[in-house]
Structure 1
Amino acid sequence: MYTFFQYNWQVRDEWFTWCEQLAKEELLKERIGGHHNILHTLLHIIDVEYSWVRAMQQKEDIPLDFSSYGEVHQVRELSHQCRDEIKGFLQSNEAISNERVTAPWMEGSFTRHEILHHIIAHEIHHIGQLSIWARELNLKPVSANVIFRGLF
């Protein structure tokens, strides 16, 4: 499962690089679908990943103030800061248990196994949205190919 987190992180980093070609106005332009714009969709991906991992660790959620992140480099830095914390947890035996977890923003409980799969699928879903927006801008999207990434 850790391999697919690595895959998502590689693809996310490539999207950050891809975003550097766009003007700030284009990154924040209101769009249909996703989380309303390119930059906030990337932030949303990070927020969901980080929030769920913190919930699995029984740590308090730290909501993001999206208005504080208006530049690609700020979102990239946040992604790397959160990733550093997440990596240690994902590589521990604690992450793979089937312990049930509750999150303050949602009713019910879920196994860690379910949550990890949700995090992976959630990011892949939104990367698809970014790919559609890239095509609408007549730009080539980041490759979603798992092969040739050196992960296996």
Structure 2
Amino acid sequence: MHTTLLHQYRLVLSSRETLFDYCEGISRQHFCQQVPQFNNESMCSMMAHAAATYLNWLVNFAQREKIPYFESNDCRDIRATRAMFNQINIVVNDFLDRFKDALDVPLTLPKREGVELTLTPLDLFMHVITHEFHHKGQLVNMSRQLGYIPVDTDVIRS
């Protein structure tokens, strides 16, 4: 299963790279502009949130290591955003390597104020990638509202 998940993440990387290439054509001003229809979030803040979610679940939760989350300032332009996600790629590869023989072993860990969650590493991996894709759709929609014509960022593209 480890090999399958690595392959799946390569598909995520391909889709993400298509999004990043598209974002190269978005002005820095628009990239960081708050969009009222998205609770005044910006494309930049949405990407920082997606990256922080990887850190929250794969490092802080699953591995009980505390590392700081990304902030909107960490992705002030697409070059910085790529660098931020390069760090996420290392996190994902380390996570998959660490749990490759225990992907279905439940982890029961405290989340906050007496709440415990029981999730498997596979649950966590699926959550972070589907979370990223959810926000990727919002990013494309945000760019459309800012006057851009989005490209196809699906895993299977024509």
Residue 123 of structure 2 aligns to a residue whose secondary structure is helix
Number of aligned positions between the proteins: 149
> After superposition, what is the alpha-carbon deviation per residue over 1:95-138, rounded to whole angstroms, capped at 9, x for unaligned?
61322143645833131232222112111111111121233244
Aligned partner of 2:103 in structure 1 is: 96
Paired with 2:74 and 2:88, the residues of 1 have a C-alpha distance of 16
- Is the aligned partner of 1:108 residue 2:97? no
- The correspondence of residues 119-134 of structure 1 with structure 2, limited to 5 A, is 119-134=128-143
- Is the aligned partner of 1:141 residue 2:147? no
One of 4, 7, 10 as aligned partner of 2:11: 7
One of 30, 48, 53 as aligned partner of 1:43: 48
Identity of aligned residues (%): 18
Unaligned runs of 5+ in 1: none
Q: Check 1:119–1:105 CA distance in 2 against 1; reply closer, same or farther (3 A cut).
A: farther
Unaligned runs of 5+ in 2: none
Root-mean-square deviation (CA, aligned residues, Å) is 2.6
- Is the aligned partner of 1:30 residue 2:34? yes
The 8 Å contact of residues 50 and 86 in structure 1, kept in 2 or not, is answered as no
Letter in 1 for 2:21: T
Residue 96 of structure 1 aligns to a residue whose secondary structure is coil
- Is the aligned partner of 1:79 residue 2:57? no
What is the Cα deviation at residue 40 of structure 1? 1.3
| TM-score normalized with structure 2 length | 0.78
Paired with 1:35 and 1:126, the residues of 2 have a C-alpha distance of 14
| TM-score normalized with structure 1 length | 0.80
